[in-house]
Chain A
Amino acid sequence: AQSVTQLGSHVSVSEGALVLLRCNYSSSVPPYLFWYVQYPNQGLQLLLKYTSAATLVKGINGFEAEFKKSETSFHLTKPSAHMSDAAEYFCAVRTDTGRRALTFGSGTRLQVQP
């Protein structure tokens, strides 16, 4: 079975500061990893996904994430936060075997202060 842990249910940064949202996974087989963003009163939108092609994955809105097998991590970063980045972010994992659905972390709410 696989699982995801997101450290920090709330993260607050200043506009223009670095955004770092942490995600650690547990999986006995090679994982596929995803970051989704949920804006208020909207559905989830895919930011980026790791499919084993490259360890550094670039997504939409200037976000990127790096897969580190040795650390079992897939942290999401953005060099400079924008007010519009305020949302909830979910890390999710999936594998080749077993359940086809995504297994999600509990989410991190990002606040961006002016």
Chain B
Amino acid sequence: GAVVSQHPSWVICKSGTSVKIECRSLDFQATTMFWYRQFPKQSLMLMATSNEGSKATYEQGVEKDKFLINHASLTLSTLTVTSAHPEDSSFYICSASGGAPETQYFGPGTRLLVL
């Protein structure tokens, strides 16, 4: 199957700092990438959808100025959590689709802890 990587796998930062998370499709070109957030024992919550070279589409309630998404190439998307606060602590997961929307492949996730 297709491989999606995320970096870093975990990060601890101080409140007020910004954190960048990378999502890469390693063996296919991802026309669309998705960013999710997952709280313990809960399902995935879609934050935004990004298409290569276009602005991301954010879900209702997700602050686009706080969660900056860049999809500059067909293999890389980044999520930047700006001015992070403890309530932003969560598990962030990206997924990538190479065309057929039903075949989304997920990254391993990034655990963010804001102190």
The answer to whether A and B belong to the same complex is no
